[in-house]
Amino acid sequence: MYTSILLAYDGSEHSKRALHAAIECAKLSPDAQLKIVHVVRFDHFEEGVFSQMTGMVSRAEYRELMLKEGEKILSQAKAVAEDAGLTPTYEVLQGDPARAIADFAEAHHVDLIVMGRRGLNALQELFIGSVSHRVLQLAKSAVLIVK
């Protein structure tokens, strides 16, 4: 049975379904620990997209805003998990999402990563999103992709 379960959560409908699956998996074992992470990236700032949209925002302010947004996204998952009687840990990670998820999983001896098939960018035609696809390549643990 899986006892260290990592849910990668981006707030999308897909990741909400993944959250429910992760809760079900965690409930299967009394020893199971659920960890929920959201990854924020700052490279859009470098690309100038954000500053073009909003005028003048410093790098530090942008970072602060993104981290706050990340906390907000995680708080939605928190409400659902706690309603289900679980006490997960929550963490906002930074960097390339797939690499951050795979590195976190390895560092925390995760034995199951749970994620959605697609995420916030689900309009594209590919069957599976790039983050799920790359986590499948990078992860050393089992990965559950929820449809």
- Tell me which residues touch ligand ATP (CB under 6 A): 8-10, 12, 14-15, 18, 37-39, 97, 115-116, 118-122, 124, 129-132
| C-beta of 88 vs 97, nearer to ligand ATP | 97
| C-beta of 55 vs 132, nearer to ligand ATP | 132
Residues in the chain: 147
Kind and range of the H or E element at 49? helix 49-54
Residues 78-137 within binding reach of Mg ion (CB under 5 A): 119, 121
Could you say which of ligand ATP, Mg ion, none residue 38 binds, taking C-beta under 5 to 8 angstroms by partner kind? ligand ATP
Whole-number minimum distance, CB 19 to ligand ATP, in Å? 9
Instruction: State how far the Cα of 83 lies from the Cα of 103, in Å rounded to an integer.
Output: 29
Whole-number minimum distance, CB 87 to Mg ion, in Å? 28
Q: Does residue 28 contact residue 58 with C-beta atoms inside 8 Å?
A: no
Backbone angles phi, psi at 7, to 5 degrees: -105, 125
Q: In this structure, are strands 112-116 and 89-94 parallel, antiparallel, or unpaired?
A: unpaired
